[in-house]
Amino acid sequence: MKRWLSGIAVVVFVLVAARAACAQEGLSVTIVSRGDDAFKELIAQFEKKTGRKVAVRFPNFIESRDTIVRGEPFDVGIVEFPHDADVIASGNVVSSSATLIANGWMAVAVKKGAPKPDMSTPSAVKRMLLNAKSIAYPDPEGGTGASGVNVVTMLRRLGIEDDVKAKTTLTRGGGRAMVMAASGEAEIGMTYYIGMYGNDKIDIVGTLPAQIAPPTPLIAFISSKSRNPAAARELLTFLTSSEATATYKKYLLEPAY
């Protein structure tokens, strides 16, 4: 009887020790700085569920790519399309680990209470922008304005880039564009949909049509030098699970599964 109880105690000890060891196997994660609050919440949920510790940082659009390309240490990296091609070419990620995490849409906002223009079709968006007295969106230069790159691409597709240039203000980030929309300084403000989360001084008109502003994928990779690829895979599995859906939607991101 004593031997049997002793055997159980050994098994329990081993399981507890294994759990403790698992918790000590931390992960280093780098995530492009878009949806910081959403991913902070998701990482906290993962830590609570698994007992693992996760050190996470949020470099900007360009730096998130360069961090991986330079070979800085990490376990999981999440970048924005089209930077997935660059990080694969660097050899610093496992190319087969590429995982579509979520999609981010471009959206339009106006001052709270202001009329909401029609933007249901590409033609309607073109009319909206040509008729607007003032427009604000993030500066596409400098590495922080990924949403600005998307707006410029859209304007070129519509053939109106030069037509709206004189009435456009380029801002340092989407937050500033939303400040301008909220104050009425800009009649139309554009940035990522998620960049409008929690701003009660604007009205969100809606997301731009996919034909002219397709959603931007967030793509995750496991480092080819990760010391804990199994735990890294566990994180990716969690981030693409039904458990994560509510958090993505809460922060205006579209789950990619």
- At 58-89, the pLDDT tens digits run 998 889 999 999 999 999 999 998 899 999 99
Averaged pLDDT, 193-206: 95
Q: Could you say which DSSP state residue 166 is in?
A: G
pLDDT reported for residue 143? 58
- Domain identity same for 225 and 240: yes
- Domain identity same for 90 and 126: no
CATH number at residue 23: 3.40.190.10
- Domain identity same for 94 and 152: no
Averaged pLDDT, 140-153: 82
Q: Give yes or no for residue 8 having a pLDDT over 60.
A: no
Q: Give yes or no for residue 10 having a pLDDT over 90.
A: no
Q: How far apart are CA 167 and CA 35, in angstroms?
A: 29
- Domain identity same for 195 and 118: yes
Structural domain count of the chain: 2
Q: Give yes or no for residue 118 having a pLDDT over 80.
A: yes
- 0.95 surpassed by pTM: no
Cα-atom radius of gyration of the chain, to the nearest Å?
A: 22
pLDDT reported for residue 24? 53
- Is residue 173 in a domain? yes
Q: Is 144 helix (H, G, I), strand (E, B) or coil?
A: coil
pLDDT reported for residue 2? 52
At residue 207 the predicted structure's pLDDT band, cuts being 50, 70 and 90, is very high
Q: Give yes or no for residue 251 having a pLDDT over 90.
A: yes
Q: Could you say which DSSP state residue 38 is in?
A: H
Q: How far apart are CA 223 and CA 76, in angstroms?
A: 6
Structure tokens at 117: 């223009």
pLDDT reported for residue 161? 97
Q: How far apart are CA 230 and CA 208, in angstroms?
A: 38
- Domain identity same for 123 and 141: yes
DSSP letters along 173-210, please? SHHHHHHHHHHTSSSEEEEEGGGGTT-TTEEEEEEPPT
pLDDT reported for residue 21? 42
- Domain identity same for 127 and 182: yes
User: Closest Cα partner for 153 from 214, 63, 82, 205?
Assistant: 214
Q: What is the average pLDDT score of the chain?
A: 90
- Is residue 212 in a domain? no
- Domain identity same for 193 and 232: no
At residue 142 the predicted structure's pLDDT band, cuts being 50, 70 and 90, is low
pLDDT reported for residue 92? 98
User: Closest Cα partner for 222 from 214, 210, 231, 212?
Assistant: 231
Averaged pLDDT, 38-57: 97
List 170's β-bridge partners, or say none.
137
Q: Structural domain of residue 53, as residue ranges?
A: 2-103+217-255
Given a contact cutoff of 8 angstroms between Cβ atoms, the answer to whether 187 and 135 are in contact is yes
Contacts 24+ apart (CB under 8 A), 57-62: 57/29, 57/30, 57/31, 58/30, 58/31, 58/32, 58/33, 59/30, 59/32, 59/33, 60/32, 60/33, 60/143, 60/144, 61/32, 61/33, 61/34, 61/143, 61/144, 61/145, 61/146, 62/143, 62/144
pLDDT reported for residue 69? 96
CB atoms within 10 A of CB 249: 13
Q: Give yes or no for residue 213 having a pLDDT over 70.
A: yes
